[in-house]
Structure formats: structure tokens, C-alpha cells
């Protein structure tokens, strides 16, 4: 009995020593993890945490530390993605400015500053944009500006980007409402947009009819609604 008591006492002392050592290791590891997180070394932090977490899987401090690592890594990745996106938007803006496409440049800078309102590079480029656009517009006479816009509108029309061409025609007619070539092109654009609309409606209507024949009533109803969203007066779609 005495020998058993001695062995039990020895095991207890060993367990206590192990607990003390584990506690010291946990404290050391938590300090190490803080340092690694400051250096954005998330995988190293996770590796350092693995051994004590295996020994004490229910330890609240260790599990909290693991959550901190995962959260810090996600925040870091999000920050990198945002930084890269802002950088790309600023680069796009500069490229558009080089082509005198100021509206597109402005849109990219607006997006960049929405993501990072304090970005000094974007703020500087905004001022550069204002200066460059002012200088460019001062250089162009009214007729030169109209001719350039019209040429771009024709090019975009020929590429079948009709909505963009229509916007350019709108810009021209704001400068000179009587500019005949723009009015003529506007009529062509409206005709093309109408043809597209008719074709789109016809396709949707045929699809909806086929769906009705196949008892696909939900899909057919959705198709008729899409038609009425385009043309609220479409009689066949109203009848369904």
C-alpha cells in the first residue's frame, strides 16, 4: 500500500509538472503568435499553435488564438485584394486619361475612392484629371468637339453598341440640337434598338408558348412578365 501511495504521489507530481510546463508553453506560444500576426505570418502562427492545441484542445485561450489567426488572415487577404483593386482602377483611370476618355477615367477614380477614400494617389489623379480635361476642352472648339463625338458615335454604332452610341448622340445634341448628322444617326440607332426589342420580345414569346405547351406554367408566366416589362402593351403576353 505504501508503494502504491508513493507511485500515485509520483504520478500526481509528474502530472502537475506537465500542467505547469504546458501552461508555460501556452503563454510562450501566445506571445509568439502575437508577434507572428504582427508580421502577417499566419501559417507559421497556425503551425506554432498546433502542438499545444493537440495537448489541450479545449483550452479557451488556444481556441481563441486560432480564431484570431483565421480572422486576421481573412482581413489581410481582403486588404490585399482591395489594395490591388484600387491600384488597378487608378491604372485604368490613367490609361483612359491618356486616350482623353475622361468620363471613364472619372468613373474608375470614383470606384477607387469608394473603396479607399483616403488613397492619396487617387486623390492626386483626380486633380490631374480635372486639369487635363480642362486643358483638352479648352483646346477643342465647339465644332471640333462635335465632330470628334460624332466620329466616335459612328464607330460605336458600327460596332453595334447602340446604347453607348445613343448616349454620345445625346451629348452632341446638348451642344448643338440642330446638328443634322447626329439627328440622322439618332434615328438609325432608335430603329436598331427597336428591332432588338422586337426580336427579344419575339424570342421570349416563343419560349413562353413552348413552355405552356409543355405545361411549364411557372416558366411561361415568368417569360410573359419579362415581355411586359419590356412592352407593357404587348397584347399576346397579357392574354398569356
Q: With b meaning 16 or more CB within 10 Å and e meaning fewer, what string describes 117-141?
A: eebeebeebbeebeebbeeeeeeee
Q: Cell 508580421 identifies what position?
A: 39
Are 165 and 157 within 8 A, CB to CB? yes
C-alpha cell at 36: 507572428
Helix or strand or coil: residue 118?
A: coil
The DSSP-derived string for 47-110 is: HHHHHHHHH-TT-HHHHHHHHHHHHHHHHHHHHHHHHHHHHHHHHHHHHHHHTT-HHHHHHHHH
* Mean pLDDT for back-to-back runs of 10 residues, the chain (240 residues): 65 60 83 94 94 89 94 95 96 95 95 95 96 84 85 92 92 91 93 86 82 82 82 69
The reported pTM is 0.46
Question: What pLDDT is attached to residue 120?
Answer: 96
Question: What pLDDT is attached to residue 211?
Answer: 84
C-alpha cell at 42: 499566419
Rounded-to-integer distance, Cα 7 and Cα 13, Å: 10
Amino acid at each position: 500500500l505504501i508503494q502504491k501511495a508513493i507511485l500515485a504521489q509520483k504520478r500526481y507530481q509528474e502530472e502537475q509538472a506537465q500542467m505547469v510546463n504546458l501552461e508555460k508553453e501556452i503563454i510562450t506560444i501566445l506571445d509568439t503568435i502575437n508577434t507572428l500576426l504582427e508580421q502577417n505570418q499566419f501559417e507559421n502562427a497556425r503551425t506554432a499553435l498546433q502542438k499545444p492545441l493537440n495537448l489541450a484542445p479545449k483550452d479557451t485561450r488556444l481556441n481563441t488564438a486560432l480564431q484570431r489567426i483565421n480572422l486576421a488572415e481573412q482581413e489581410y487577404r481582403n486588404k490585399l485584394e482591395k489594395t490591388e483593386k484600387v491600384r488597378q482602377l487608378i491604372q485604368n483611370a490613367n490609361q483612359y486619361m491618356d486616350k482623353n476618355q475622361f468620363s471613364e477615367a472619372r468613373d474608375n477614380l470614383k470606384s477607387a475612392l469608394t473603396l479607399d477614400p483616403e488613397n492619396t494617389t487617387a486623390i492626386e489623379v483626380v486633380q490631374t484629371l480635372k486639369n487635363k480635361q480642362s486643358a483638352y476642352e479648352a483646346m477643342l472648339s465647339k465644332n471640333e468637339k462635335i465632330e470628334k463625338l460624332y466620329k466616335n458615335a459612328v464607330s460605336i454604332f458600327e460596332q453595334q453598341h447602340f446604347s453607348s452610341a445613343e448616349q454620345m448622340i445625346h451629348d452632341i445634341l446638348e451642344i448643338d440640337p440642330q446638328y443634322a448628322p447626329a439627328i440622322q444617326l439618332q434615328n438609325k440607332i432608335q430603329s436598331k434598338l427597336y428591332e432588338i426589342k422586337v426580336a427579344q420580345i419575339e424570342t421570349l414569346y416563343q419560349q413562353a408558348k413552348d413552355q405552356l405547351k409543355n405545361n411549364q406554367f411557372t416558366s411561361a408566366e415568368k417569360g410573359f412578365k419579362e415581355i411586359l416589362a419590356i412592352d407593357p402593351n404587348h397584347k399576346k403576353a397579357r392574354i398569356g
